[in-house]
């Protein structure tokens, strides 16, 4: 597919958007319109960066393939290794380009709130929540994202009963959006004396962080309760009513926060999570009205859907939605998720692009 014409028009559009942002009048303009311009600018800018990287890789591949024909036996092995690495980069960048030329999702460019909780498996599930939280934190660090802990409730064995945190940075939503669902782990728990493999699950929810312009909360629809925070084993228990529970009366949905010592700060955290959850529900309802949009999605992103298995004895990670398997679990759990998420984004982009063009992926 020749994209040179599309890239040329995108460069021109980038300049238009840049001028519009510079000339934006905040006293007259709509704040939502400004955010849309900003998201479009970031997306086109990302496309330009990825396209330039892709062109460099294609050029290097051509040079290495020509060198391979002339190289002696000693040099050939080095050149083959370079070609193999460059081919992986070409495949990954091709997928990123296709994802970036598809119609922009309303959540493109947003930060995300990630919530992780144990499913089936008791203490072992809680321990895996801690492992996944660590994995995402390391991944965020590698991507240069800012990580803000919002809420964490731990267990006496070092596991986590629930954790909520925000990831802020370029591409946070685009990369993390496919993590929502049930993650299954198969391994021998530290508490297992007979060496038997146990299967446990954790649920992950990735929410685009909603701003007030995205979803306005009517104060009359909210009930705010304060209570005394608590911790396991009598530790870290507040002596003041600093914990906050915010309930959205029309839906019955509520969020409680007790991570911070300040009541004001806990209320802010609860409101941010509640607004983002309600925005997700609103978007899901809109998606259901659009059959083509619904068909183009791979999986529902629902917490009840099993999306991935982490098998420790085989050092294997399998993503069931995209039929992907990597025998690199140790590395992935250290936050090296770029290849996994890159493959997922590439497959998803190919499927969506094929649907846009009316052809088979």
Angstrom distances, CA of residue 233 to CA of 118, 237, 312: 20, 9, 32
pLDDT digits (tens, 9 = 90+) for 296-339: 434 444 455 789 999 999 999 999 999 999 999 999 999 999 99
The DSSP call for residue 179 is G
CA 131, 133, 139 angle in degrees (round to 5)? 105
pLDDT digits (tens, 9 = 90+) for 158-215: 899 999 999 999 889 999 999 999 999 999 987 676 778 999 999 999 999 887 666 7
CA 37, 294, 338 angle in degrees (round to 5)? 65
Residue 297 sits at φ, ψ, to 5 deg, of: -85, 140
CA 240, 113, 128 angle in degrees (round to 5)? 85
**Among positive and negative, which fits the CA dihedral 287, 291, 296, 299?**
positive
| Average pLDDT score over the chain | 85
Contact (CB, 8 A) for 345 and 219: no
Q: Which two tokens stand for residue 343?
A: 């493959």
Contact (CB, 8 A) for 325 and 316: yes
H or E element, residue 3: none
Residue given tokens 């982490």 in the structure block? 310
Q: Which two tokens stand for residue 355?
A: 């649907």
- What pLDDT was estimated at residue 359? 47
Contact (CB, 8 A) for 228 and 241: yes
CA 84, 79, 330 angle in degrees (round to 5)? 40
pLDDT digits (tens, 9 = 90+) for 243-292: 888 899 988 888 888 878 888 888 888 888 888 888 888 877 776 665 44
**Among positive and negative, which fits the CA dihedral 119, 254, 277, 210?**
negative
């Amino acid at each position: 597919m020749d994209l040179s014409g599309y890239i040329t028009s995108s460069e021109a559009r980038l300049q238009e958007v840049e001028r519009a942002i510079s000339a934006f009048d905040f006293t007259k303009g709509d704040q939502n319109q400004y955010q849309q311009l900003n998201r479009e600018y970031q997306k086109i800018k990302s496309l330009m960066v990825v396209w330039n990287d892709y062109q460099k890789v294609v050029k290097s591949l051509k040079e290495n393939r020509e060198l391979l024909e002339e190289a002696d036996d000693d040099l050939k092995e080095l050149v083959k290794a370079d070609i193999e690495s460059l081919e992986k980069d070409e495949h990954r960048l091709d997928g990123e380009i296709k994802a970036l030329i598809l119609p922009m999702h309303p959540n493109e460019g947003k930060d995300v709130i990630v919530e992780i909780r144990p499913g089936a498996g008791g203490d072992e599930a809680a321990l895996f929540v801690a492992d996944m939280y660590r994995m995402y934190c390391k991944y965020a660090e590698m991507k240069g994202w800012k990580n803000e802990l919002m809420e964490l409730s731990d267990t006496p064995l070092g596991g986590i009963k629930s954790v909520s945190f925000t990831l802020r940075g370029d591409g946070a939503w685009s990369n993390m959006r496919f993590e929502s669902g049930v993650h299954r782990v198969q391994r021998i728990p530290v508490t297992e004396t007979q060496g038997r493999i146990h299967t446990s699950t954790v649920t992950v929810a990735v929410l685009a962080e909603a701003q007030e312009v995205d979803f306005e909360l009517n104060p009359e629809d909210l009930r705010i309760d304060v209570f005394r925070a608590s911790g396991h084993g009598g530790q870290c228990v507040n002596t003041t009513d600093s914990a906050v529970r915010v309930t959205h009366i029309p839906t019955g949905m509520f969020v409680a926060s007790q991570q911070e010592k300040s009541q004001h700060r806990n209320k802010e955290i609860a409101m941010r999570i509640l607004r983002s959850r309600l925005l997700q529900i609103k978007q899901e309802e809109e998606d259901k009205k659009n059959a083509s949009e619904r068909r183009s999605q791979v999986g529902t992103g629902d917490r009840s859907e099993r999306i991935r298995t982490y098998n420790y004895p085989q050092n294997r990670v399998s993503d069931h939605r995209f039929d992907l398997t990597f025998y690199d679990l140790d590395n992935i759990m250290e936050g090296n998720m770029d290849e996994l998420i890159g493959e997922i984004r590439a497959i998803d982009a190919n499927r969506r692009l094929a649907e846009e063009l009316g052809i088979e992926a």
